[in-house]
Amino acid sequence: MDKFMQAAIDEARLGRKEGGIPIGSVLVRNGEIVAKGHNKRVQEDNPIKHGEMDCLNNAGRQRTYRDTVIYSTLMPCFMCAGTIVQFKIPKVIVGESRTFDGAREFMESHGVEVIDLDLDECVQMMEEFIEAEPTLWNEDIMEL
C-alpha cells in the first residue's frame, strides 16, 4: 500500500470514528505530506467540508499547487473536482470509484491526471458505510 493512500485511508477511518462519512484525503508535495483531511460535513455541520476540501483547507495558503498530488479514498465530486481544477493540481490518485463515480471526466477534460487504484479496502469501507447509513450517504451526494 502506498503510504500516502494509507494516510488518506487513516483519515477516512478517523472521520467514520467521529460519526462522519469515511472519506479521507492527503495533499503531497515532493514526497512529503503537506496536509491531511477527512469529510467533516456531519461533525462540523458544514455542507462543503468534504475530504478534499478539508485537506486543502488544512494546507492553508500555498503559493502554488502545480507541484502537488492529491490523494482521496473516493473519486472526487464536482465541487472538489472544481477546486482541484481551480488550484491547478495536476494529479489525483483515488482509492476507488465503484461506489461513487464522481467527476473523473470533468477533471480529465481540464488536464488533470486521474489514477483510480480501485482498492478493495476503500470499496469495502464505503459499502459498509452506505449499508449502515444510507440516508446520510444520500444526503452527502445530494440524492434525497
Please indicate whether residue 32 is annotated as part of the active site. no
Q: Catalytic residue among 11, 18, 44, 52, which? A: 52
How far apart are the C-alpha atoms of 23 and 21, rounded to whole Å? Answer: 6
Residue 91 φ/ψ, nearest 5 degrees: -145, 135
How far apart are the C-alpha atoms of 21 and 140, rounded to whole Å? Answer: 8
Catalytic residues: 52
